[in-house]
Amino acid sequence: MSQFSDQAPQRPPNPRHTAVVGLQWGDEGKGKLVDRLAGTPGVFDAVVRYNGGANAGHSVVVEGVRYALHLVPSGILAPGSLAVIGNGVVVDPERLIEEIDGLSARGVDTSSLVLSSRAHVVMPYHKAEDGLREELLQASPVDASSPSKNVIAAIGTTRRGIGPAYADKVQRATAIRVGDMLRPELLRSKLDMICGLKNSVFRALHPDEPEVFDAGAIAERMGELGRRLRPMIKDTAYLLNGLDQEGKTILFEGANATMLDVDHGTFPYVTSSNASSLGIGPGTGVPPQKIGRVIGVVKAYSTRVGGGPMPTELHDATADRIRERGREFGTTTGRPRRVGWIDLVALRYAAIVSGATELGLTLLDVLAGFDELRLCTAYATPEGRTERFLPDGFELAEAEPIYETMPGFCEEITGVRSFDDLPGPACRYVERIESFVGVPVRTIGVGPDREQTIERDATVAAGGLA
Ligand code: IMP
């Protein structure tokens, strides 16, 4: 084994460009953090999405109004900055237009939205394929929350067509990019070939009631949507690198999260993109060395939607209380989220691969009222105890969490605005997270509103070693 240290790297700060990325399984509260950072005019010239699609859901509360964003970057709510959908995103144009119209109807100016011509399009057959694959997998008698070795259960996808759209991107010949929506003849001839192929796959998978896709009708609809989107379609790689050369600042907004990253998450129970900060380069064309500040967003506990292993999952009254206090129901699908104690082993790995230079801890207020708090600091596996995250979802499903227990706090903290005013046990809890992960916690969320945030000038704290 190499001399690699499990201590998360402390990179020298180069604050020009910033990334905000979830370090768990999504829904960490990235939207609020992005909105807080970008909400001050002039701080960021562009807010950029680089991965995922309408599977993501960001709730942002501004002046008491809740906005649920799926494809549009949270930066749309920030006056004076561009909101860019980068080439790494898979775009469902119907949903994008719905979202734009919804925002406009609520008085939000959407003229700053820019869409990459290189982004791939989620087509109607992708959504059908996503649903059908899930149904076929669901028919297998496997419990996705604890899959046994060598048997794949349903992924529990959002059924937004994300996986099939990324699969076609990698297949190349069967992909449609946003730029293709502007070339009717090319689009039609591609769709003739693609629909022929897809229809035969649907016939084979579902011979009784195969879905049939009509190339002509789809080409016409996509052409219409393309005409509507045309003014915002640009070469965003040049746009973003141009901003960089002019000395402007960019905020990269992650969607989904590091534990759902197709390479580094709990594979195969992941999404289909590089949802850690590693996706920024390929998903925007901006090279990674331009980003000096990476804010890893982490809930004070764990949640997950969909299938796949989650070592600290709880199925008791503690889970119910956390779910209720944290309003843990999906923004995109409304599904109740699976809930558990914080998993520091997974978190430290996520902080390492995402290059987190600081942590944004969210939802600490949800943990008020417990006598004790538990933190997973190692796994018991059939091969023995380990403090390392496991690279395989099936292996992880067999790991048992080993906990450290700390005293809880009973006071409500939603009104607290300074670290020193937090109850002592809450401070110790935060400090334990940063000492284990080796990255300072710079902000602490104590409620959903932009203002319910504690800013902290922390330096770290020795990181633990595996
Ligand atoms: P897909 O991205 O729809 O293919 O879903 C793959 C897995 O990622 C499923 O377990 C989803 O529930 C999960 N997932 C995708 N996006 C998010 C998100 O933004 N938050 C939480 N879970 C997500």
Q: Is the CB of 313 under 6 A from ligand 1?
A: no
CA distances in angstroms from 401 to 10, 322, 344, listed in the order given: 27, 19, 10
What is the predicted pLDDT for the residue at 146?
55
Euclidean distance between CA atoms 195 and 192, whole angstroms: 6
CA distances in angstroms from 370 to 301, 341, 364, 373, 427, listed in the order given: 13, 12, 12, 7, 15
Q: How many CB atoms lie within 10 A of CB 249?
A: 17
Instruction: Select from 74, 85, 95, 81 the least CA-distant residue to 50.
Output: 85
Q: Phi-psi region for residue 14, left (φ > 0), alpha (ψ -120 to 50) or beta? A: beta
Q: Is the CB of 256 under 6 A from ligand 1?
A: yes
What is the predicted pLDDT for the residue at 360?
97
What is the predicted pLDDT for the residue at 255?
95
Q: How many CB atoms lie within 10 A of CB 66?
A: 10
What is the predicted pLDDT for the residue at 1?
40
Within 13 Å and on the Cβ side, how many CA atoms surround 342? 32
Distance 333 CA to ligand 1 centre (A): 10
User: Can you read off the two tokens belonging to residue 4?
Assistant: 């690699």
Distance 1 CA to ligand 1 centre (A): 33
pLDDT digit string (tens) for the chain, length 466 residues:
445 566 655 544 455 899 999 999 999 998 888 888 887 777 899 999 999 999 988 877 777 788 888 999 988 888 889 999 999 999 999 999 999 999 999 999 999 999 999 999 999 999 999 999 999 888 765 555 555 544 567 899 999 999 999 999 999 999 999 999 999 999 999 999 999 999 999 999 888 888 899 999 999 999 999 999 999 999 999 999 999 999 999 999 999 999 999 999 999 999 999 999 999 999 999 999 999 999 999 999 999 998 899 999 999 999 999 999 999 987 767 889 999 999 999 999 999 999 999 999 999 999 999 999 999 999 999 999 999 999 999 999 999 999 999 999 999 999 999 999 999 999 999 999 999 999 999 999 999 888 899 999 866 544 443 4
Distance 270 CA to ligand 1 centre (A): 7
CA angle 69, 71, 75 (to 5 degrees): 65
Specify whether the CB–CB gap between 38 and 75 falls below 8 A. Answer: yes
Euclidean distance between CA atoms 195 and 129, whole angstroms: 12
Contacts of 1 (CB under 8 A, 6+ apart): none
CA angle 332, 445, 15 (to 5 degrees): 95
* Amino acid at site 167: A
Residue 205 backbone phi and psi in degrees, to 5 = -80, -30
Q: Three-state SS for 161?
A: coil
H/E stretch holding 32 reads: helix 30-38
Q: Is the CB of 306 under 6 A from ligand 1?
A: yes
Catalytic residues: 27, 58
* Amino acid at site 95: R
User: Can you read off the two tokens belonging to residue 261?
Assistant: 């990253």
Indicate which residue's Cα is closest to atom 20 of ligand 1: 26
What is the predicted pLDDT for the residue at 5?
60
Q: How many CB atoms lie within 10 A of CB 43?
A: 14
Block residue for tokens 């004790």: 372
Specify whether the CB–CB gap between 198 and 125 falls below 8 A. Answer: yes
DSSP state letter for 336: B
Euclidean distance between CA atoms 225 and 220, whole angstroms: 9
* Amino acid at site 397: A
Specify whether the CB–CB gap between 345 and 378 falls below 8 A. Answer: yes
What is the predicted pLDDT for the residue at 141?
59
Q: Is the CB of 56 under 6 A from ligand 1?
A: yes
Distance 212 CA to ligand 1 centre (A): 27
Q: Is the CB of 305 under 6 A from ligand 1?
A: yes
What is the predicted pLDDT for the residue at 2?
44
